[in-house]
Structure 1
Amino acid sequence: MNTLFPIFVKIENLQTLVVGGGYVGLEKLTALLSNAPAASVTLVAPDIRIEITELAEQHPGVTLITDRYKAEYLTGKDLVIVGTNDKAVNRQVQADCKTRRILVNVADTPDLCDFYLSSVVKKGDLKVAISTNGKSPTFAKRFREVLEEILPDSLQETLDNLTAIRNKLKGDFQEKLERLNEITKVLK
């Protein structure tokens, strides 16, 4: 049974650390910045891919540190994503995060994760997160592709119209909810 509690985090209000400067680090940094371009992210690794350096140049909130991981890099961090090819480093980061009560994700190691990074469908203001409880990120990616294809690009217009309607509705919460439910029934 999937007991994950899905939430959407305002990542631009958090201090995030990415450990790893290879392909996985690039993938995680790209995911963070594509969802929140102004995110404050520190990436630490002894070797950092050129693509990461180029991405950091486009985002002033990104700080790159060319160094091996040290626990001191956790100071002031709210969230940590680990993506190195060194299992000992990955385990050490996870243990250090646990000690400090910092949420951590260790790529491709579900047992060491406090949270998983979902596959995300974006259509304007609509975001749909997909999780397989860490079982198959590949399936989540394929399902995302299917949803992206079938959801119309005009969804933003629909969301904007519903916001305008909601803002004009009178009455208490229950009355507004009932009216919005009636209006959105056509989406079934």
Structure 2
Amino acid sequence: MSAGFPIVQGGGSLILAWQIKGKHVLVIGGGEVAAGRIFNLLNADARVTVICPRQGLTPEVAYRVDSGQICHTDRIFLPLDLEPERNVSMVLTAIDDPEASTRIWKYCKKLKVPANIADVPPECDFYFGSVHRDGPLQIMVSTNGNGPRLAASIRKQIGDMLPKGTGQSVAKVGQLRRKLRAVAPGKGVDSINKRMGWMSEVCDRWSTENFNEMDEEDMERLIQSYGPGVVPSFEDVRLRRPTNVVWDFDGSFGWL
């Protein structure tokens, strides 16, 4: 810290969760690297077109083409593939031709289309990191092009450290947020700040195990505390649930 503020390190990337759902992405090449890129894009609900001669497709890529998961152009890349009417949002190249890759990259730069040229960091507008996935939870480790294989090892270590059911906990937090917006739908700055502040307190106070165990009734009872602006513990929420216990006295206690 310098003067109480974080020290700027520089040399990093701006790590974002890029919302590519429904957008058109070109993948140039059909080998193993392309297969991994395509898999990531499909997980993000992108519309994918792979450009590669049929004989260059791996079994996985060929399967995704034949099953209709992606579109296929059976030839090499041509400039017409980036014509404006095709609405291409991103280009990924994974071909064993450095000169052709550089030409594609320069063409993308000219048209201001973001591109990633596999294994050539200087010709990438963005990098792919190693991703841990557990339901809605995604954790990306990036080495900024220095050591992709090491990133995979670090990602595995992080994944192994997370409590079991973390992804399920994240999903339940998302469900809780949606319920909260339904009962407190204000769109003003004050309303948004209040919801965010209350949710932050809940996430700070409740553990992963608490969120895993939380059910619909727990959510409803927790949200009842939003109005007064308090954050009960998980145990407090459970104690407020009716027990529905009926005592059946059979006289064995010796009462008269």
TM, length-normalised to structure 2: 0.65
Q: Deviations over 1:53-74 (max 9, x none)?
A: 112233x341112212211112
For 1:18 and 1:136, how far apart are their aligned partners in 2?
A: 23
SS of the residue 1:172 aligns to: helix
Question: In the alignment, is the contact (CA less than 8 A) between 2:142 and 2:151 conserved in 1?
Answer: yes
SS of the residue 2:21 aligns to: helix
- Partner in structure 2 of residue 71 of structure 1: 79
Q: For residue 180 of structure 1, report the CA deviation from its aligned partner.
A: 2.2
- Partner in structure 2 of residue 183 of structure 1: 202
Residue 48 (structure 2) pairs with residue 41 (structure 1)? yes
Of the structure 1 ranges 101-110 and 44-53, higher mean CA displacement relative to structure 2 is found in 44-53
Amino acid at match of 2:197: E
- Partner in structure 2 of residue 157 of structure 1: 168
Q: For residue 125 of structure 1, report the CA deviation from its aligned partner.
A: 1.0
Larger Rg: 2
- Partner in structure 2 of residue 62 of structure 1: 70
Question: Structure 1 50/123 Cα, relative in aligned 2: closer, same or farther at 3 Å?
Answer: closer
Q: Deviations over 1:10-50 (max 9, x none)?
A: 323211001112222222212222x23x4211111232223
Question: In the alignment, is the contact (CA less than 8 A) between 2:132 and 2:155 conserved in 1?
Answer: yes
Taking the TM superposition and a 5 Å limit, the aligned residue runs for 1:95-134 are 95-134=106-145
Q: For residue 164 of structure 1, report the CA deviation from its aligned partner.
A: 4.5
Amino acid at match of 1:182: E
Question: Structure 1 150/106 Cα, relative in aligned 2: closer, same or farther at 3 Å?
Answer: same
Structure with higher strand content:
1
For 1:71 and 1:100, how far apart are their aligned partners in 2?
A: 11
Question: In the alignment, is the contact (CA less than 8 A) between 2:30 and 2:50 conserved in 1?
Answer: yes
CA RMSD of aligned residues (A): 2.2
Question: Structure 1 177/114 Cα, relative in aligned 2: closer, same or farther at 3 Å?
Answer: same
Unaligned runs of 5+ in 1: none
For 1:73 and 1:25, how far apart are their aligned partners in 2?
A: 17
TM, length-normalised to structure 1: 0.86
Question: In the alignment, is the contact (CA less than 8 A) between 2:135 and 2:171 conserved in 1?
Answer: no
Question: Higher relative contact order at CA 8 Å, sep ≥6: structure 1 or structure 2?
Answer: 1
Amino acid at match of 2:19: K
- Partner in structure 2 of residue 87 of structure 1: 98
- Partner in structure 1 of residue 249 of structure 2: none
How many residues are paired up? Answer: 185
Q: For residue 165 of structure 1, report the CA deviation from its aligned partner.
A: 4.0
> Identity over aligned residues, as a percent?
24
SS of the residue 2:37 aligns to: helix
Question: Structure 1 24/160 Cα, relative in aligned 2: closer, same or farther at 3 Å?
Answer: closer
Residue 27 (structure 2) pairs with residue 15 (structure 1)? no
For 1:55 and 1:173, how far apart are their aligned partners in 2?
A: 42
Of the structure 1 ranges 80-89 and 44-53, higher mean CA displacement relative to structure 2 is found in 44-53
